[in-house]
Amino acid sequence: MKSFMIQGAKILATGSAVPNSSLSNNQISNIVNTSDEWIFTRTGIKERRVLTGINQSVVDLGILASMDALKKISMDPSEIDLIILATSSPNDLFGSASQIQCKIGATNAVAFDLTAACSGFVLGIVTASQFLQNGSYRNILVIGADVLSKWIDWSDRSTCILFGDAAGAAIVQRCSNQNNSILNFQLNTDGKYSEHLSIAYKNYTSPHSKLNLYQGYFNYVAMNGKEVYKFAVSQVPLSILKCLSSLDMSVNDVDWLLLHQANERILKAVADKLSINKSKIIANLSKYGNTSAASIPLALDEAVQDDKILDSQIVVIAGFGAGLTWGTVVIRW
């Protein structure tokens, strides 16, 4: 197996957090024209969690997930050198990572937000691994967190059935090259199709009364579900194959397939295309829906807690979503 790394990077611990309030398909069918049967058969989702408190934000979930990960390895927050918060639903457009840094007491950490929608956690792990493998930092906290319930049009049945709120976190540490576990990655962007999935900025129709200057607001989530579905099923398998082949590995080496939890039909179609047995798919979207940047670390944390993933097993992680962005990371656990 080839290795391109100068030093290694290893995931030491994972953590996660979801809001207490759950919203079932039946409850959604009371607000839009849909049914539990339609949602479950088309998506695999049964329920999702939503953040309901007036002052609650992505920061609160990010703090809980981070503390959960830190607690598992009894790491003091002051040992964290860098915090990367992957989110598309910050509570401050200037960034939310610094609020998490302050509230968890990571006094020595640099902190910044990374916006890449549902691919955010994959990009976060890849970014972290660069800082670790080139020796800049020793401990990095990568958080994937989103509260898209705040950006959903709850009268639009084509989107409001899909999304839920959550946060997941991973602590990644520099290690020797021999112990490297983030083996390689493959990332892509195609901005030609950005309008297929967006929370777009809209201008008010008239400018400021004295300045010729337009101001505006952010719209709700808009999605062309069919196009995003086709894109995911065609591009994600190619990305996974490219990443495996760069490591002289094949689909036979894969022990677990952990995809962004968008739709169970997408997970199965990608596994089918790759001839990966469905028993290797990690899925928890029936309980949480699509939690955007949180979906991969949330499912990863659950699989680790359930002792599914064993030492040295190969986990293929792939994210995809708005941008459009997509990418794969191959990890040896």
Q: Of these, 109, 145, 228, 285, which contacts ligand UT7 (CB under 6 A)? A: 228
Distance CA 227, CA 246 (A): 28
C-alpha to C-alpha distances, 119 to 35, 105, 193, 204, 298, nearest whole angstrom: 29, 27, 15, 30, 14
How far from each other are the two terminal CA atoms of the chain, in whole angstroms? 15
CB of 161 to ligand UT7, least distance (A): 5
Q: Is 290 annotated as catalytic? A: yes
Residue of 228, 5, 17 lying closest to 143 (CA atoms): 17
Q: Is 196 annotated as catalytic? A: no
Whichever of 183 and 232 has its CB closer to ligand UT7, that residue is 232
Residue 321 interacts with ligand UT7 (CB under 6 A)?
yes
Q: Which stretch binds ligand UT7 (CB under 6 A): 4-12, 77-85, 95-103, 220-228?
A: 220-228
CB of 230 to ligand UT7, least distance (A): 9
Q: Is 212 annotated as catalytic? A: no
Whichever of 104 and 148 has its CB closer to ligand UT7, that residue is 148
Distance CA 300, CA 259 (A): 10
82-86 vs 139-146, strand pairing mode: parallel
Tell me if 294 sits within 8 A of 167, measured CB to CB.
yes
Report the residue number whose CB is nearest to ligand UT7: 225
Tell me if 316 sits within 8 A of 257, measured CB to CB.
yes
Whichever of 267 and 303 has its CB closer to ligand UT7, that residue is 267
The catalytic position among 160, 243, 260, 263 is 260
Residue 248 per-residue DSSP state: T
Tell me if 302 sits within 8 A of 284, measured CB to CB.
yes
Tell me if 12 sits within 8 A of 256, measured CB to CB.
no
Residue 118 interacts with ligand UT7 (CB under 6 A)?
yes
Q: Which stretch binds ligand UT7 (CB under 6 A): 50-58, 183-191, 241-249, 258-266?
A: 258-266
110-114 vs 166-175, strand pairing mode: unpaired
Residue 263 interacts with ligand UT7 (CB under 6 A)?
yes
Distance CA 294, CA 129 (A): 18
Tell me if 291 sits within 8 A of 284, measured CB to CB.
no
Contacts with 32 (C-beta within 8 Å, 6 or more apart), sequence order: 154, 155, 156, 157, 160, 161
Residue 103 interacts with ligand UT7 (CB under 6 A)?
no
CB of 35 to ligand UT7, least distance (A): 7
Residues 149-188 that bind ligand UT7 (CB under 6 A): 157-158, 161
The catalytic position among 118, 160, 175, 243 is 118
Q: Of these, 7, 42, 110, 253, which contacts ligand UT7 (CB under 6 A)? A: 42
Residue 268 interacts with ligand UT7 (CB under 6 A)?
no
Tell me if 215 sits within 8 A of 249, measured CB to CB.
no
Residue 229 interacts with ligand UT7 (CB under 6 A)?
yes
Looking at the DSSP bridge assignments, the partners of residue 11 are: 172
- Compute the C-alpha angle 302/307/309, nearest 5°: 85
Residue 226 interacts with ligand UT7 (CB under 6 A)?
yes
Residue 119 interacts with ligand UT7 (CB under 6 A)?
no
CB of 239 to ligand UT7, least distance (A): 15
Q: Of these, 38, 112, 193, 333, which contacts ligand UT7 (CB under 6 A)? A: 38
Footprint on this chain of ligand UT7 (rule: CB under 6 A)? 34, 38, 42-43, 118, 157-158, 161, 197, 225-226, 228-229, 232, 262-263, 266, 290, 321
Give catalytic residue positions: 118, 260, 290
